[in-house]
Structure 1
Amino acid sequence: MAHIIFRSFFLADVVVLLLVLLSPPFAAAQLKTGYYASICPNLETIIRSSVKQSMAQSQIAGPAALRLFFHDCAVRGCDASVMIVNSNGDDEWHNPDDQSLKPDGFQTILAAKAAVDSDPQCRYKVSCADILALAAREAVSQSGGPYYQVELGRYDGRVSTKSSVVLPHADFNLDQLNAFFSGLGLSQTDMIALSGGHTLGAADCPFFQSRIGTDPSMDSAFASQLRTTCAGQTFAFLDAATPAGFDNSYYKNLQTGRGLLGSDQVLYTDQRSRGTVNYYATNQGTFFYDFANAMTKLGRVGVKTAANGEIRRDCRTPN
């Protein structure tokens, strides 16, 4: 396994309720499955094949692409602004909370974009935002998780700035997590289901080391194991039981005090969310169903239209 680390989706110093990111009704209404049926009929097949190839080439391509979707939608909305690279360095990736996003994730999207544009019928007609949403679904389904229909029809944003990146912190409590996700139009159940995405990927040791030996909610044997792990390397898997498989073992880990981040473990230690964790731990099918629904809702945040967006020819720069 390549020694490459993902920071968790739940990394930031401050949280602000970005209500302006909520999709206006007309923007959400433009999204639909089959949006490209007559524009690029082979779109999903093309992206499925490209992501499969990327995941075969890199063991972290899938988790990295999934995390990229989270970081994109939760900041300026699902407009692929996270992909933009500005020459002056003022872009989302250069914010400290996004620099943990790995090149493998970006490359997975760029490869999928190139594959789509290699089809003359599709060239420059499919947004990077839609490609990112489809690639995230493929990362999940090709890792053993649910396959779900993705609503499409997003346009790409033209703006990306460091200051716009505001994400939850790894030590957030339940109230803070709920406040942030509520600002995106998502419920507590949505938040807990999306947290299950931590069944893939890893986190840097500095983001959980303070819990080792000090947090009573952490299993003592797990704490000892992490102490040894971080003495020899710089990261630990978010779900050590099945790090490469998308399943419900993340929730089983929480039941035994083996949640890596404080913002993971709090979902079990707080009585208000424990019931959902317990249910997902014993009902993988329900978790898959709720995760797919939550991903669909997340995919509606901040959707751009032709009036305030574009179809980027190069995902890394506005046209």
Structure 2
Amino acid sequence: METTTTARRRCSYSSISSLLMATICVTLMIYPSHAQLNATFYATTCPNVSTIVRNVVQQALQTDARIGASLIRLHFHDCFVNGCDGSILLDNSGSIQSEKDAGPNTNSTRGFNVVDNIKTAVENSCPAVVSCADILALAAEASVSLSGGPSWNVLLGRRDSLSANQGGANTSIPSPFEGLSNITSKFSVVGLNITDLVALSGAHTFGRAQCRLFSNRLYNFGGTNNPDPTLNTSYSISLQQICPQNGSGFSVANLDPTTPDGFDNNYFSNLQNNQGLLQSDQELFSTTGAATVSIVNSFASSQAAFFQSFAQSMINMGNISPLTGSSGQIRSDCKKVNGS
């Protein structure tokens, strides 16, 4: 699809011999393509959407300190499977195998009720206008900025999928047990680079993780009967108190032991101190010769640099294969396809 500039250039260079062709060119210049997302997509159709989303997120944070991290995780897990299309929100149905039941999501992803509350509030103000996929993007930004992190202009105009991809969720979402090279490859597949990887991992500066996602590092890492050697010893002991060897695995620990509910750059200082909770976190700093190490050091020394990169990487992630134009639909209920 053409931008305004492209359309103008094509119309200038073409030999226009009819009023019809002239009209087409003028129309292209006045009404540029909406195939690309933009920050003002709802400027006339739902001008208060950002405020509506922010208010619901703010209210949720008052009773659930974890919800900001949970909401940004939903956006992340959505975008890595078939692009940012709201597919993670779909429940099981006769034709849909829900991504909620995929390995990385089951008994783990949360915040769906808050998304429903946001959708209800948005529908009351602007019926059948704002997609669930865009709500996830807006909720992620609100979650970060309300927790002390950066703010950015969320690009909008996504539409919602008509299906889910449970198999894709099982294979495409980076795992906390994977090595750095595998995770780097998963980011590369969706067009994100090393800086995006490190910056987006910085979202682990708030929120919690279940013991089952890192307990392998505490007791028998790699079959050694010892903790992961890249795990700070005193930190490991404190984690063992939270996650006993024969525990259920569903207890939670703070991803950032220093400022667990604030969005800052302490995550990167933690990595320098061997206090990354997940294996996938610590490997950003502890993998010898990895290109990620210098980025971690940069973000640890400058919160401003981290915030700037994080905001840009969130925009980059939000641009992964969105449905636009006449593709997909605007779901009235984020949990199901319209008419189902």
TM-score, normalised by the number of residues in structure 2:
0.82
Give the stretch that moved more between structures: 26-35 or 183-192.
26-35
1:282 Cα deviation from its structure 2 partner? 1.0
Deviations 1:64-103 (A, max 9, x none): 1111001100112101010111235721001122113444
Q: What is aligned with 1:236?
A: 253
Q: 1:137 aligns with which of 138, 141, 144?
A: 141
Q: What is aligned with 1:277?
A: 296
Change in 2 beyond 3 A, CA 1:178/1:102: closer
Alignment of 1:36-51 (within 5 A): 36-51=42-57
Question: Which amino acid in structure 2 is aligned with residue 63 of structure 1?
Answer: A
Question: Which amino acid in structure 2 is aligned with residue 159 of structure 1?
Answer: S
Q: 1:299 aligns with which of 318, 330, 336?
A: 318
Aligned residues: 291
The 3-state SS of whatever aligns with 1:203 is strand
Q: 2:101 aligns with which of 85, 94, 107?
A: 94
Q: CA RMSD in A?
A: 1.8
Following the alignment from structure 1 to structure 2, what is the Cα–Cα distance between the partners of residues 267 and 74? 20
Question: Structure 1 residue 30 and structure 2 residue 36: aligned?
Answer: yes
Contact kept, 8 Å, 1:67 with 1:101, in 2: the verdict is no
Alignment of 1:1-319 (within 5 A): 29-88=35-94, 90-103=97-110, 105-119=111-125, 122-165=126-169, 166=171, 167-212=173-218, 213-231=226-244, 234-270=251-287, 271-272=289-290, 273-319=292-338
1:29 Cα deviation from its structure 2 partner? 4.4
The 3-state SS of whatever aligns with 1:30 is coil
1:27 Cα deviation from its structure 2 partner? 9.2
Contact kept, 8 Å, 2:227 with 2:236, in 1: the verdict is no
Following the alignment from structure 1 to structure 2, what is the Cα–Cα distance between the partners of residues 98 and 251? 25
| Structure 1: segments with no counterpart, 5+ residues | 1-25
Question: Which amino acid in structure 1 is aligned with residue 149 of structure 2?
Answer: G
Following the alignment from structure 1 to structure 2, what is the Cα–Cα distance between the partners of residues 28 and 268? 40
Deviations 1:209-252 (A, max 9, x none): 22124321111111111111213872211111111001111100
Give the stretch that moved more between structures: 258-267 or 305-314.
305-314
Question: Which amino acid in structure 1 is aligned with residue 135 of structure 2?
Answer: I
Deviations 1:110-140 (A, max 9, x none): 1111111111xx1111111111100010001
TM-score, normalised by the number of residues in structure 1:
0.87
Question: Which amino acid in structure 2 is aligned with residue 135 of structure 1?
Answer: A
Question: Which amino acid in structure 2 is aligned with residue 314 of structure 1?
Answer: D
Computing the radius of gyration from Cα coordinates, the structure with the larger value is 2
Contact kept, 8 Å, 1:27 with 1:304, in 2: the verdict is no
The 3-state SS of whatever aligns with 2:75 is helix
| Structure 2: segments with no counterpart, 5+ residues | 1-31, 219-225
The 3-state SS of whatever aligns with 1:222 is helix
